[in-house]
A = this chain, B = another copy of it.
Amino acid sequence: MTTTDTRETIMKAAQAAVQAKGYNALSFRELAKAVGIKSASIHYHFPTKGDLGAALARRYTDNAVGYFEQLITAPAPVEAIFADYVAVFRAALLNDNRMCLYGIMAAEYGDLPPEVRVAVDAFSAANVDWLVRLLGPRHPTLSDAALRDRALAIFAAIEGAQLVARGRGDITLFDQMIAAYRAAGLMP
């Protein structure tokens, strides 16, 4: 197995574990078992747990940014693009009732190594930036600050809906909350 393959496999398994049980509950031994190597070999690829956590968050953000970029350049109405955006968060729940990596790491924020924190922060910033770009043309009267507040509020509402729906273990609740947000006029 090449370096890249194993590194990828580790990150995939680690991300799944964090999304299911949190960063704190991620153990090198369990992770190694899932990958099929020894825990010492994880340290070869990621010297410390903080390195792994930060790499996870960075890759998560990069992947999201890439996909969002692809979405926003598509010749589709804002409503359709936004629906695809929401579907990303919905997909996490569909995947064995897992959380968005950001959401679960944000909850554990107080216990996160500094390098993981900055990587986590980058995800929310990227989402807000993207939402501002998407919604800006739709709200020409809003000030830049008000637009950013709106974007942040939308992002937070989606994260919250995920958090609550996950606790209930019912993905239809997520859909209903998104529908309620839309009905209230918070989202397109």
A residues near B (Cβ < 8 Å) are: 20-22, 24-25, 97-99, 103-104, 106-111, 120-121, 124, 146, 149-150, 152-153, 155-161, 163-168, 173, 176-177, 179-181, 184-186
Interface pair A181/B152, CB less than 8 Å apart = no
CB distance from A172 to the nearest CB of B (A): 10
- The interface residues of chain A, by DSSP majority, are classed as helix
Chain B residue with the shortest CB-CB distance to A163:
B106
Chain B residue with the shortest CB-CB distance to A107:
B107
Q: How far is the CA of A184 from the CA of B180 in the complex (A)?
A: 12
Q: Which residues of B contact A161 (CB under 8 A)?
A: 153, 156-157, 160
Interface pair B108/A103, CB less than 8 Å apart = no
Q: How far is the CA of A97 from the CA of B111 in the complex (A)?
A: 12
CB distance from A34 to the nearest CB of B (A): 15
Q: Which residues of B contact A111 (CB under 8 A)?
A: 20-22, 25
**Residue of A111, A153, A168, A177 with highest tally of chain B CB at under 10 A:** A153
Q: How far is the CA of A150 from the CA of B120 in the complex (A)?
A: 29
CB distance from A146 to the nearest CB of B (A): 8
Q: Which residues of B contact A150 (CB under 8 A)?
A: 180, 184
Q: Which residues of B contact A166 (CB under 8 A)?
A: 106, 109
Q: How far is the CA of A77 from the CA of B84 in the complex (A)?
A: 39
Interface pair A156/B168, CB less than 8 Å apart = no
CB distance from A29 to the nearest CB of B (A): 16
Interface pair A164/B173, CB less than 8 Å apart = no
Q: How far is the CA of A90 from the CA of B160 in the complex (A)?
A: 15
Which listed residue, B25, B99, B155, touches A164 by the CB 8 Å rule?
B155
Q: Which residues of B contact A157 (CB under 8 A)?
A: 153, 156-157, 160-161, 181
Besides A124-B164, A156-B163, 9 new A-B residue pairs in contact (Cβ under 8 A), listed by A number? A22-B22, A22-B107, A103-B163, A107-B163, A109-B167, A152-B177, A153-B157, A155-B160, A155-B164
